[in-house]
Structure 1
Amino acid sequence: MFEVGDHVFLKVQPRRGATRFGKKGKLAPRYVGPFEILSKGDIDLNEDASFEQRPIKIIDRREKNLRGKVIHLVQVLWQHRGVEESTWEVKDAIRANYPQLFEDKVVETK
């Protein structure tokens, strides 16, 4: 596979309304680069070369009023991402898929 220091081209797929990389004339390039690989990270890939983002913990909680309903949101910190890339998700959906994030430790008082 690729090693640190190798140079690679990235395949670009244009989307509607998105600006094109280095557009020259009528046709946009299909690849951009070359870019040097500066570092490599360990990522667990599935057999089809995809990977699943796993949440690490819940950073924050808030409520949002939408059309008279209260939506409970949680800010999720994802594996292999920093705090600046955390996302706000609907609490019920995250609880259904990742119940371990909501296991509260009960402290007994005597």
Structure 2
Amino acid sequence: MRGVMRFGKKGKLSPRFVGPFEILDRIGLMAYRVALPPAILGVHDVFHVSMMRKYILDPTHVIDYEPLQLQENLTHTEESMQIVERKEQVQVLQNRAIPLAKVVWNNHSISEASWELEEEMQVKYP
């Protein structure tokens, strides 16, 4: 057990409770599927009721959101707002550089920006 990392803690004893996490759906009578962060993807996402505990309301734990502009057929179109960063990715098999751009989309924060091909972004948004 020496050197084993469990839930970001090193050592023999792992933390008893980790979370809070959002419950995605109920599986059967006594199990729930939970949305886990990417840092602990190795953990199975279905838990028995006995493994969970009640969430204690914290008034500082409030998520701010902006309402989406939905169309008549209940679809939503994403539009790029700005390019935050640029870089060139080198392919492994060839000595060719691929230009990428980090794009911030409307109704999303900077932390949710995604890397897109710069050529495609120039075609879509000249």
- The one of 81, 95, 100 equivalent to 1:73 is 100
Q: Structure 2 matches for 1:1-110, cutoff 5 A?
A: 20-22=45-47, 41-66=66-91, 67-99=94-126
Q: Structure 1, unaligned stretches of length 5 or more?
A: 1-8, 25-37, 100-110
Runs ≥4 residues deviating over 2 A: 9-12, 19-24, 38-42
TM-score normalised per structure 2? 0.48
Supply the distance in 1 between the matched residues of 2:75 and 2:66 (Cα, whole angstroms).
15
RMSD of aligned Cα (Å): 3.3
Superposed displacement of residue 42, structure 1: 2.4
Q: Structure 2, unaligned stretches of length 5 or more?
A: 1-22, 27-32, 34-43, 50-62
Residues matched between the structures, number: 79
Instruction: Give the share of equivalent positions with the same residue, in percent.
Output: 21
TM-score normalised per structure 1? 0.54
Superposed displacement of residue 43, structure 1: 1.4
Cα deviation digits, residues 60-82 of structure 1 (max 9, x gap): 11111113221000010111111
Supply the distance in 2 between the matched residues of 1:11 and 1:95 (Cα, whole angstroms).
40
Query: What residue is the counterpart of 2:10 in the other structure?
Result: none
Higher RCO, Cα 8 Å, sep 6+: 1
